[in-house]
Structure 1
Amino acid sequence: MKVLVLLESPSKIEKIKHYLEEGFKENEYTVLASGGHISKIADKGTWGLGIDLETMQPQFTVEKTRAKIVSQIKKEGKNADLIVLASDPDREGEAIAWHLASLFDGKKKEIKRATFNEITKDAVIEAFNNLRDIDMNLVQAQFARQMLDKIIGYLVSKSLQKSTGLMSAGRVQTPALNILTTRDEIIKQFKEVLYKKIFVIDNKNNINLNLTKDKNNKTVNTEKTYYINESQSKGMVDNLSEVYKCSDYKSTAFETRSFKPYSTAGLLQDGFSKLKLSAGQITVAAQKLYEEGYITYIRTDSVKYSEQFIKDAKEYISKNYSENLFKEPIVGKKDLNSQEAHESIRPTDISMTPEKAILEIEDKTQQRVYSLIWWNSIKSLMKGPSGFNHRWTFRNEGYEFKQSWQEVLDLGYQAIKHSPSDENVEITEDDEIEEISNQKPSFEFKQGFELNISKDYIKIEDAKTNPPKMFNQASLIKELKNLGIGRPSTYNPILTKLKDRQYVEYPKSKPIIVTNKGYEANQFLYSQYQDFFNLNYTADMEYKLDKISEGTFNYVSWLQDIYHSLDKKVKEDVSQAQTDILCPRCKEANLVYIKSKFNRGRGCSNFTTTGCGYREYEQPDGTWKEYVPASKDDKNTDEN
């Protein structure tokens, strides 16, 4: 049987063709790659949306850059007995499969869908042994997502451009920009409070008591109560005696497990904080590792492993470390709107250690990302450091002091020392855990005893309140995930679009900087279109798209309501859009923003009535300069 297999990425062709020819020797395979989407919604009709506004159905056109591969696919499909659509296993991949299948409408071809979470021989053969039909719920969800993005993006961008000269707004990147600007405003308006902390410190005996309540049993140094000032601190110290009576003692067992299976968001966050790589760098490296068969599919919100991987990892840990070190992974509560359609990101073969991988993987960034994923996966299936947390409460003349100490009895994965050859991963560990455990206080592990400590050991330290931290790429992705905004496939594009629009800057490994254009865009969009970009509304959109994927929500009336609301408002705003700057040439009309491919432009609003052709463009330093077209004489001089 002649089988045509259609993939997304050309880099997968050789490997998958090899697996298929080994697993199904009776068939003849031709494997081609579409290079991603072959079609897009046409830029035609009302507002250039390319949508039938009565039925809310998209009108597609083949991408010009895909014409050659489309022709080749059609040609090979003529002779195929079976066409298998093996695009990526997500909503976008399902839509790509639908568009590829539509190339053979009316041709009476047998067309099936194959999906696999990893590019390994077993996974590919299993997928081809379990072919299915295209999931139209996923396809409809992808259509709805495209139409939603285009309705909001095209209409609001038109208003933004006419009113400010800025070029673009987006359904998801606009709320992300608002999160950044809101945090910046909070930081700018923050007023620090200087205060005092009172300790009793005896390093020789590992005593470190911290004053937590005053003699009126009121908690100190919190925003809800009060902060100790200098005069209060001196008065408190004067009131203290040298006798500290232990009024309470508690001991509770603990285990610290810092590693859990990677979702896309988790990988991007750790890649930024631990490897100092941008979301874009991590995504590119991880995608290549997936295509080469080293790791599972990288766009997932799941934090679960397959039973087979857990079994294989358990055997590996028992053989190479200790039988007692294995522990089932952390299964926390399901994330907001998490679909968990795929397994979490992990190595396809746990025995492919970072030391072995660097012998095969040439790219340094890919080596580091693989090491990060491998170590995270193995340690997420190990016991963490464990022992007891000891907490003492002391009273002195009515004042309350506390001290705690963590006693580590089992280091767990902390006992593992990385091989010197594993130089491409920088994993931050709880390096101080052993040191802290050695700092055992010299007093009793019970209540009722007394400590006699000279006042010479009392320390008053300066402290101040701090504003919330600025977002970096990792913390922004975490915030988006927590708010239910965006999905595994959109985190990196959100960051990329914000930068491409010149709304933000990303200094390497540092907080995100919102530019003047970013502030201006945010101010306009949230003053005029707040209802369409508030965080709850955006999260609800994502929720509805997920429900479409499940086949439990009809999107037609929903999209129509959004369109009609925006259409009315944008028309009103665009008709009134005008600056308060008088044209410096004709001095008869005000300037309006004009469409410009690069820098912002302004032109005389009298152009259509009087022909005043005054134009000016924003310069890199923020000033505006009149546009003076080159004369014919100048052009001739240049040519000669």
Structure 2
Amino acid sequence: MYIFKEFSELNIKELKNEIEKERQLIKDIKAGKIYKEQKELIKVILFIVESPNKVKTISSFFGRPSIRNIGGLSVYEVSLGNMYLLITASKGHILELTTDNIGLFGIERKDGIFYPYYNTIKKCLSCGSQFTEYKDGKCPYCGSTNVDDSINRIKALQELAMEVDQIIIGTDPDTEGEMIAYSLYLVLYPFNRNIKRAEFHEVTKTAILNALENLRDIDLNLVKSQVVRRIEDRWLGFSLSQIVQKYFNKNWLSAGRVQTPVLGWIINRFDERNKSKSYILELKLENDRKLYIDTEVKNRREINKIIKNIKDKEINIVDYKEEKEEIQPLPPYITSTILQDANNILKIGVDRIMQILQELFESALITYHRTDSTRISPLGISIAKDYISQKFGENYFIARSWGEGGAHEAIRPTRPLDVDMLRNSIENGEIDVYINMTRYHYIIYDLIFTRFIQSQMKPVSVIKYTEKIKIPEINKEIELSGVKDVIDHGWDLIFPFRINIMKIQPIQNGVKIVEAIGKKVPKVRLYSQADIINLMKEKDIGRPSTYAMIVKKVMERGYVINKSNNLIPTKLGIEVYNFLEKNFGDFVSEKRTRDLEEIMDKISENKEDYRKVLESIYDETNMIIEKGKNIQKE
């Protein structure tokens, strides 16, 4: 209801003062200042995420941000109406276990209690080395003074903390992200006690707003799990690495709980391959079809005899069956499966693939990529329905959640945009991304999008055949199968590759062999990086956040080389593994590693006392150190 007054009744001076006060208040908000009046009008929040790319993406959801610099830290400021966000990045971890000579590798034990000592993280911008201790501001590796110290970010964040009403930490939704959040909490709590955690699994406007409305406290069980895992890595890694370095007189060598079994898999596969060579017959038929037959023949003279006698002979069909079958779609990607497919297709390292996935996530193009869950949320299902209905028709859509419960989803796109639509949207300026979108980014996005969409489509109905054939000169029957015809299309409309490799026409009775070639090849192929990721997943050692790092580490140490996407152990790698297996096999066995992974999960669920676990690992580490003292160079 409006009340009209005569102009003479107004106090112009007082009205003018109120207007000026409001104008000044708006200026102060934009400058990040806090006043009593401001608190009554709008809530000012410091929103901390990990990466500058994520800062730019989030701020772009709420209009054009203003930007200021606090102690070298870029702060993006946006208004959400009822709150004013100051968005900035911690740039990952800000604290790390010290390498100073304190306790047992930086963890002190007093009266049965363990005290881990942390320091700020320093990174040399000249040589790329990372460390916690240095003298005179110089890199201990190359002597450069061009060093980035996280203490500078901490001080800037502390200055910002005093300006705002509340601090919200929005780091990644996993144990590493929870530890980063807890470290930020510790350094900022003395300056502002109103600190909350925001959790989101995709960087979209809806997800961010939902996270800001559903804040939680930091999950200390996840923090305990990360701290115990980090201490275990430090204790076992440092103790074994020092022993290995001394024994082989090479100070760059390392050993670890997961690293050692992985190295063993690669070595064992290499040995198995070298022992498994036999002849394969490549047969060319008169209809131009080729067959590859494993003969198990290892003698050249014997295979030549078979080749001589087999030419112009006919293949006989012993048995033939046809049946109708529905082929179901594959589940959407999780970390291990996207790493496998991207590695096999692109032939690039899994560490580079993880970097691309991180960038796609931070650019609001995919959901969080470190996940073991195939679950799809109702929002994800609606994205698939929107795309499938428009592209193929709603009758091709079948909603599948692929799992129940849990916070994590599978890896999926955040919009109903295929790779061509995405490329056009970026090039036309409809979508802003703050990364360099290479062809690898687009290919990996296309893999994720296609796999997700097919997972929400109806099955493909086919005529499938199975036939048993007998080849002359080879005393065994061979079973072949394939898809003869597609009766009713489904997911194959967007994912044709998978159905195409199944579409192989059956061999007709009496078809002749026109040519035969014998090739001596290994029955067992070498592992690729993708295979190792799959094994870690199957054997339950390592986690989505560590898969790529473990593979990268065995190559960086010179234990393994990657040749044509095959992992080949080096002489050094074989020697180090044999040494560890002989002397410390019980500590680095696959079973012990898997058991510890399960214990870490129990700590995160508050089902295991982290102090007892640390006590056990502490005793184990001291046993390793004592045993190492008695090992003599052979």
Corresponding residue SS for 1:175: helix
Query: Out of 51, 54, 57, which is 1:15 matched to?
Result: 57
How many aligned residue pairs are there? 533
Corresponding residue SS for 2:375: coil
| 1:525 aligns to 2:580 (yes or no) | yes
Structure 2: which amino acid aligns with 1:544?
I
Q: Distance in 2 between matches of 1:373 and 1:342?
A: 16
Q: Distance in 2 between matches of 1:32 and 1:22?
A: 11
Structure 1: which amino acid aligns with 2:500?
D
Q: Distance in 1 between matches of 2:52 and 2:186?
A: 21
| 1:5 aligns to 2:62 (yes or no) | no
| 1:52 aligns to 2:52 (yes or no) | no
Who is 1:111 aligned against?
A: 195
CA offset at residue 193 of structure 1?
3.9
Query: Out of 519, 524, 538, which is 1:482 matched to?
Result: 538
In the TM superposition, 1:44-193 aligns within 5 A as 44-52=101-109, 54-64=112-122, 65-106=149-190, 109-166=193-250, 167-188=253-274, 190-193=275-278
CA offset at residue 62 of structure 1?
2.9
**Cα pair distance change 1:460/1:71, threshold 3 Å:** closer
- Is contact 1:300-1:344 (8 Å) kept? yes
**Cα pair distance change 1:146/1:245, threshold 3 Å:** closer
Q: Distance in 2 between matches of 1:154 and 1:287?
A: 29
Corresponding residue SS for 2:336: helix
Query: Out of 514, 522, 525, which is 1:466 matched to?
Result: 522
CA offset at residue 459 of structure 1?
9.1
Superposed CA deviations along residues 164-201 of structure 1, whole A, max 9, x for unmatched, are 1233112222221121112112223x14344879x997
Q: Distance in 1 between matches of 2:175 and 2:526?
A: 33
**Cα pair distance change 1:463/1:317, threshold 3 Å:** same
Superposed CA deviations along residues 34-78 of structure 1, whole A, max 9, x for unmatched, are 111111122232342324363234222233421011001111112
- Is contact 2:454-2:492 (8 Å) kept? no
Query: Out of 457, 463, 484, which is 1:388 matched to?
Result: 463
Corresponding residue SS for 1:381: coil
Query: Out of 369, 373, 392, which is 1:321 matched to?
Result: 392
- Is contact 1:52-1:59 (8 Å) kept? no
Stretch moving more, 399-408 or 149-158: 399-408
Structure 2: which amino acid aligns with 1:15?
T
Who is 1:343 aligned against?
A: 409
Who is 2:437 aligned against?
A: 363
**Cα pair distance change 1:258/1:502, threshold 3 Å:** farther
CA offset at residue 308 of structure 1?
1.6
- Is contact 2:320-2:465 (8 Å) kept? yes
Structure 2: which amino acid aligns with 1:58?
P
Query: Out of 483, 486, 490, which is 1:406 matched to?
Result: 483
**Cα pair distance change 1:132/1:513, threshold 3 Å:** same
Superposed CA deviations along residues 405-450 of structure 1, whole A, max 9, x for unmatched, are 5332234343459xxxxxxxxx95443555x3xx3677xxxxxxxx
Superposed CA deviations along residues 325-353 of structure 1, whole A, max 9, x for unmatched, are 32345948x9xxxx964111111102354
In the TM superposition, 1:487-636 aligns within 5 A as 487-507=543-563, 509-577=564-632, 579=633
**Cα pair distance change 1:11/1:465, threshold 3 Å:** closer
**Cα pair distance change 1:131/1:233, threshold 3 Å:** same
**Cα pair distance change 1:341/1:497, threshold 3 Å:** farther
Structure 1: which amino acid aligns with 2:171?
S
Corresponding residue SS for 2:119: strand
| TM value normalised by structure 1 | 0.73
- Is contact 1:162-1:574 (8 Å) kept? no
| 1:431 aligns to 2:493 (yes or no) | no
Q: Give 5+ residue unaligned stretches, structure 1.
A: 212-219, 224-228, 418-426, 443-450, 581-640
- Is contact 1:19-1:125 (8 Å) kept? no
CA offset at residue 8 of structure 1?
1.1
Who is 2:331 aligned against?
A: 260
Query: Out of 330, 334, 345, which is 1:274 matched to?
Result: 345
Who is 2:27 aligned against?
A: none
CA offset at residue 261 of structure 1?
0.9
Who is 2:380 aligned against?
A: 309
CA offset at residue 283 of structure 1?
1.7
Q: Distance in 2 between matches of 1:254 and 1:118?
A: 37
- Is contact 2:50-2:172 (8 Å) kept? yes
**Cα pair distance change 1:403/1:201, threshold 3 Å:** farther
CA offset at residue 501 of structure 1?
1.6
Provide the identity percentage.
Answer: 30
- Is contact 1:195-1:230 (8 Å) kept? no
Q: Distance in 2 between matches of 1:404 and 1:312?
A: 36
Q: Distance in 2 between matches of 1:243 and 1:123?
A: 61
Q: Distance in 2 between matches of 1:506 and 1:413?
A: 35
| TM value normalised by structure 2 | 0.74
Corresponding residue SS for 1:388: strand
**Cα pair distance change 1:330/1:503, threshold 3 Å:** farther
Q: Distance in 2 between matches of 1:313 and 1:191?
A: 46
Q: Distance in 2 between matches of 1:432 and 1:180?
A: 29
**Cα pair distance change 1:74/1:221, threshold 3 Å:** same
Corresponding residue SS for 1:31: strand
| 1:372 aligns to 2:447 (yes or no) | yes
Structure 2: which amino acid aligns with 1:184?
F
**Cα pair distance change 1:74/1:411, threshold 3 Å:** same
- The alignment yields a C-alpha RMSD, in angstroms, of 3.9
Superposed CA deviations along residues 281-339 of structure 1, whole A, max 9, x for unmatched, are 2222221121111111121111221122112212311211233332345948x9xxxx9
CA offset at residue 14 of structure 1?
3.1
Corresponding residue SS for 1:177: helix
CA offset at residue 478 of structure 1?
1.1
**Cα pair distance change 1:396/1:484, threshold 3 Å:** closer
Superposed CA deviations along residues 551-586 of structure 1, whole A, max 9, x for unmatched, are 111132233223223313323423544x46xxxxxx
**Cα pair distance change 1:460/1:40, threshold 3 Å:** closer
- Is contact 1:210-1:402 (8 Å) kept? no
Q: Distance in 2 between matches of 1:4 and 1:13?
A: 12
Corresponding residue SS for 2:188: coil
CA offset at residue 385 of structure 1?
4.1
